[in-house]
């Protein structure tokens, strides 16, 4: 058995080196074939690093999913050596955004896959909120949690939703987000030496606006210096929200390491996710 495994592992570099120099699959096409229900026979040359297990997998992700699951594929970023692809898997009961990170190694190769971890926490929280009787959703709830029951329910439903719905929420409230940012900047301007930002959402005027927009907090992040993050929710380092930075050179890069999604929404605003 050891000899067979060794022989297989030894053969992989030979197979990779033998790939055709004329292979022209784009990053989008690589991921498209991987999530397709039709299979991806030539997948060996298009996976590496933490995705090495795909070399031995009998089926691709697309073959494992029910045929009824829709796959909406979008290119998020690409330069000469790196690309990020977003796939939204959805049907009547399923909704999940998955991000594929590729690098060019002779051919475009998937080296990592990410999604917002602990999304099931949002689903569990919605069930918990639903279980609270009507009489328990009033002033005592608000006093105990700092938010109304309705805010917590709508907020949790939002941050656990698809990227498409998160973007739609921003577009529908763009004017209010701009007004909120102006108020935040006036009352709590960022300073160069800031390393930990005060929780500005406690300010009464700001909180009134954040509650309407379903924003749980306004924070800064050491991984995005100079940026303001309008946090919707999440668990620990797994978070989702909107980022504001008018200078595109200061926007954190999208990567498999921390900011797994930085999606432009226009005029210095971005949808972000971390993990």
| SS3 sequence of 160-209 | CCCHHHHHHHHHHCHHHHHHHHHHHHHHCCCCCCCCCCCCHHHCHHHHHH
Question: What per-residue confidence (pLDDT) applies to 1?
Answer: 41
Residues of the chain whose pLDDT is less than 50?
Answer: 1-22, 195-196
Mean of pLDDT over the chain: 87
Cα–Cα distances (Å) from 69 to 89, 95, 154, 251, in that order, read 6, 9, 26, 33
Question: How is residue 66 written in tokens?
Answer: 């029910």
Question: What per-residue confidence (pLDDT) applies to 193?
Answer: 55
- Find the DSSP H helices in the chain: 2-17, 27-35, 61-64, 119-131, 139-145, 149-159, 163-172, 174-187, 204-213
Question: What per-residue confidence (pLDDT) applies to 2?
Answer: 37
Q: Can you tell me the distance from the alpha carbon of 199 to that of 121, in angstroms, rounded to the nearest whole number?
A: 24
Question: What per-residue confidence (pLDDT) applies to 3?
Answer: 39
In this prediction the pTM is 0.86
Q: Can you tell me the distance from the alpha carbon of 46 to that of 175, in angstroms, rounded to the nearest whole number?
A: 43
Q: Can you tell me the distance from the alpha carbon of 161 to that of 240, in angstroms, rounded to the nearest whole number?
A: 10
Question: What per-residue confidence (pLDDT) applies to 93?
Answer: 82
> Residue 254 has what DSSP assignment?
P
Q: What is the pLDDT of residues 106-165, one digit of tens each?
A: 999 999 999 987 778 888 899 999 999 999 999 999 999 999 999 999 999 999 999 999
Q: Are 177 and 184 in contact (CB under 8 A)?
A: no
């Amino acid at each position: 058995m050891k000899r067979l495994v060794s022989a297989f592992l030894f053969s992989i570099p030979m197979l990779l080196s033998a790939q055709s120099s004329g292979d022209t699959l784009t990053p989008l096409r690589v991921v498209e074939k991987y999530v397709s229900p039709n299979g991806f026979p030539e997948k060996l040359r298009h996976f590496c690093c933490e995705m090495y297990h795909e070399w031995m997998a009998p089926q691709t992700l697309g073959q494992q999913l029910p045929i009824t699951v829709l796959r909406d594929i979008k290119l998020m970023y690409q330069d000469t050596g790196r690309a990020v692809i977003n796939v939204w898997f959805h049907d009547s009961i399923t909704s999940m955004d998955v991000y594929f990170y590729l690098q060019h190694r002779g051919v475009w190769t998937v080296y990592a896959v990410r999604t917002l971890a602990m999304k099931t926490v949002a689903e569990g929280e919605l069930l918990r909120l639903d279980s609270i009787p009507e009489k328990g959703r009033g002033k005592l709830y608000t006093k105990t949690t700092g938010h109304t029951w309705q805010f917590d329910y709508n907020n949790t439903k939002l941050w656990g939703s698809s990227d498409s719905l998160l973007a739609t929420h921003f577009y529908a409230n763009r004017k209010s987000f701009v007004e909120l940012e102006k108020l935040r900047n006036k009352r709590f301007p960022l300073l160069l030496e800031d390393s930990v930002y005060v929780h500005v959402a406690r300010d009464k005027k700001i909180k009134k606006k954040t509650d309407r927009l379903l924003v749980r907090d306004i924070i800064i992040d050491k991984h995005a210096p100079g940026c303001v993050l309008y946090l919707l929710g999440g668990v620990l380092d797994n978070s989702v929200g909107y980022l504001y930075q008018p200078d595109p050179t200061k926007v954190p890069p999208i990567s498999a390491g921390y900011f797994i999604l930085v999606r432009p929404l226009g005029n210095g605003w971005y949808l972000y996710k971390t993990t």
